[in-house]
Amino acid sequence: MTPPNASSSLALDDKRREAEARPKGRGVALFFRRWMANPLRMGSVIPSSPALCRRLVRQAWPKDGEMVLELGSGTGVIARALLAAGLAPERLVVVEIEPDMAEMLRETMPGVTVIEGDARELPRLLPQRLQDRIGSVICGIPLVLLPVTEQRRFIDAMQAVAPGRGFLHYSYCATSPLPWKKHDLAAKREEWTPLNFPPASVWRYTPRVG
């Protein structure tokens, strides 16, 4: 399957996709409660907008036979956008540290592999049979709020389960949310959407060669 066309297929189904990508009332309330309890884990007071989700779908779309891994899925708006665009549930793995959110994801997205736990423990949490199939990684964890040493732990975990793949990271910063040179990464801003609140960018980080 090829990624959704940016100008035609996505536009034709805009309303349907936005409805499917938007979290239900329970999800929004849960997201806000978890943000109030621990804002450093959530990063934003509201879930990602449909506009941002569409851009992430475009950038994260995997090759045939490969899977998408999302870290910090929250209420699942990005995961549902991938499913609405045609990604089979069995090709999607989401990791969420908050137990109540992980439970909701299991209830609302049958067939998707939902892993409850700390993404820094990915090599232990993710079965080896799945690690061999990860084609793209989306990081929704607010790494910009962490010290460099903790950022490194997340990056190392992602590289361990998807070696050489790099990862996508969406952020509300005007510049790169990661000091990419310190992490020996190459960085590229792939997308920017002023329609998200707050405006967001999608960055692609890959291991630097040479």
Burial letters for 60-75: b for 16+ Cβ neighbours within 10 Å, e otherwise? bbbeeeebbbbbbbbb
pLDDT tens-digit map of 132-175: 899 999 999 999 999 999 999 999 999 999 999 999 999 888 89
Burial letters for 166-201: b for 16+ Cβ neighbours within 10 Å, e otherwise? bbbbbbbeeebbbebeebebebeeebebeebeeebb
What length is written for the chain?
A: 210
Question: How much is the pTM?
Answer: 0.80
Q: Across the chain, what does the average pLDDT equal?
A: 83
pLDDT tens-digit map of 78-102: 999 999 999 999 999 999 999 999 9
pLDDT for 13 equals 44
pLDDT for 3 equals 57
CATH value of 9-207 in 3.40.50.150, 1.50.40.10, 3.30.1490.20, 3.20.20.140: 3.40.50.150
